[in-house]
Structure 1
Amino acid sequence: MVRSKELPPRHDTTSSREKAIQHDLHGRVAQLLATAILRGDYAPDSILPREAELMEAFGVSRTVLREALRTLTSKGLIESRPRVGTRVRPKPAWNLLDADLLDWYSRVAEPLAFALKLQEMREMIEPYAASLAAAAYTDETLRALTAAHASMVAARNVDEWVRADLQFHMGVLIACSNELLIPLGALIERTLEAQLRLNAKRADVFNASLAEHTAVFEAIRARDAAAARAAMASLLGVTRGRIEG
């Protein structure tokens, strides 16, 4: 008797595609609803429309909508209460240190106000980070910082400059050898890139701040923590001037 060969297990490709589509849909609905809240369409402490209304507005199923609402709940934007409905939480409860939420907020916030808030955050962190980097860099992190600085020197247009500038600032945070600062850099990366691009376009030439970046780099490489801190503060002072100008 000839035994039939065992067939390989069948993959439910239709199910996989449907799951991928549903995932994309719930992500899109989460972004649209979060953007509406962050923009002020739904005020803090207000009650969102009922599920049926939201399903109709977004053209999605109850499953997709509920998954989107769970996403926004995890980000601190909303909360559901029995017999009350889904309520927008007060602003202090919003987790704006969530990468998605910060990115969405940056797109709807008043541009100058948001740029200044990001600048304040940078001024609190980056000068001290530069001093830490000067004291704690390794051969590997210095090579990465050196490469970023070299890319800034070699940049021939705004796009090349912004990529290198972002790489430089992320490199400073990584060189601190403080694992708590690295996720912070990754968190603000998307919004920082937009700010760096704006600053480059506002300058007389895109690489107008090369000398200030070089001063930071040379102080870090020389392991001069005080000079690195002062140089980064000076660089950020130039950045603030361009934002306010």
Structure 2
Amino acid sequence: MAILRGDHPPGAPLPREAELMARFEVSRTVLREALRTLTSKGLIESRPKVGTRVRPRDAWNLLDADMLEWYSRVAPPLQFALKLQEMREMIEPYAAALAAGNHEAPACERLTRAHRAMVDAQNVDEWVRADLDFHLCVLAACSNELLIPLGALIERTLEGQLRLNAKRAEVYNASLAEHTAVFDAIVARDAAAARRAMADLLGVTRERIEG
């Protein structure tokens, strides 16, 4: 997180092993394992006679669940929320259209349960769990196995955004009607309506973020 925050800018060397071991109170074995993890995520690189340095930002693998969560903790909250929102706006309306055209019975049943849980939610926690499951179900209903890992990738950060949106609304389930429009269009296999309904829902989300 210190690297993502900019404490160690791209090209800068990391402190020596002894300093890092003392700072984090870990053994050399643990430290080296941690450095291998950061290397695999594109944050750092080690070279003989040069040491360990931070890689350029464009080498960082932010499409990694751990990296995305770490980044969400250190990035300016509004900036991160808008970046995640932009990603959702590019993907989810089309995913809803795909779900409408391609969903199979098991996926539709899971989406129905998620929508019912939203209808029945009695508090913010129940609503957020159901809301998150609803959006993950839409991705799963696309019948495109490449989109399912996307849900797993953004799940933790999306949950945080959904919780924030629920708390900013007049009531936690203020967007139930918009979710129901998405649900009805998918079940009816109306791809165009599903795309529009999801875009409308995300428009409400953006208004809450920017408000």
TM-score range, shorter chain: over 0.9
Among residues 160, 167, 172, which one is paired with 2:138 in the alignment?
A: 172
The answer to whether the aligner puts 1:80 opposite 2:55 as a matched pair is no
Work out which of the residue numbers 227, 230, 233 in structure 1 matches 2:193. Answer: 227
1:107 paired residue number: 73
Distance 2:129 2:22 in 1: 42
TM-score, with length taken from structure 2: 0.99
CA distance in 1, matches of 2:131, 2:122: 13
2:202 is aligned to 236
C-alpha distance in 2, partners of 1:57/1:160? 40
1:134 maps to which of 100, 123, 137: 100
Following TM superposition, by how much is the alpha carbon of 1:112 offset from its aligned partner in structure 2, in angstroms?
Answer: 0.2
**CA positional deviation for 1:56:** 1.6
CA distance in structure 1 between the aligned counterparts of 2:145 and 2:91, rounded to whole angstroms: 14
Distance 1:223 1:230 in 2: 13
Mapped partners of 2:16, 2:131: distance in 1: 46
- Aligned partners of 1:187 and 1:57: how far apart in 2? 30
How far 1:89 sits from its partner (Å)? 0.5
Question: Which structure has the larger Rg over C-alpha atoms?
Answer: 1
Of the candidates 22, 26, 30, which is equivalent to residue 64 of structure 1?
30
Q: Please tell me the residue identity of whatever aligns with 1:232.
A: M
CA distance in structure 2 between the aligned counterparts of 1:86 and 1:124, rounded to whole angstroms? 36
The 5 A counterparts of 1:36-75 are 36-75=2-41
Partners of 1:141 and 1:60 lie apart in 2 by 45
The superposition leaves residues 139-187 of structure 1 with CA deviations (integer Å, 9 ceiling, x where unpaired) of: 1000000000000000010000000000000000000000000000010
2-side partners of 1:44 and 1:103: how far apart?
20
% identical aligned pairs: 79
SS in 2 for 1:205: coil
* 2-structure distance, mates of 1:206, 1:53: 47
Equivalent position of 1:25 in the other structure: none
**Match of 1:200?**
166
Number of residue-to-residue matches in the alignment: 211
Q: Per-residue deviation at 1:118?
A: 0.1
Separation in structure 2 between the aligned mates of residue 49 and residue 169 of structure 1, nearest angstrom: 42
After superposition, the C-alpha distances for 1:118-151 in whole angstroms (9 at most, x for unaligned) are 0000000000000000000011000000000000
Aligned mates of 2:61, 2:161 — CA distance in 1: 21
Match of 1:8 in 2: none
The structure whose RCO (Cα within 8 Å, separation 6+) is larger is 2
Q: Secondary structure at the match of 2:45?
A: strand
One-letter amino acid matched to 1:39: R
Hey, what's the Cα distance between the residues in 1 that align with 2:167 and 2:189? 32
Q: Kindly report which structure 2 residues correspond to 1:116-195, keeping only aligned pairs within 5 A, or say none.
A: 116-195=82-161
Query: CA separation in 2, counterparts of 1:242 and 1:175?
Result: 27
Q: What are structure 2's unaligned runs of at least 5 residues?
A: none
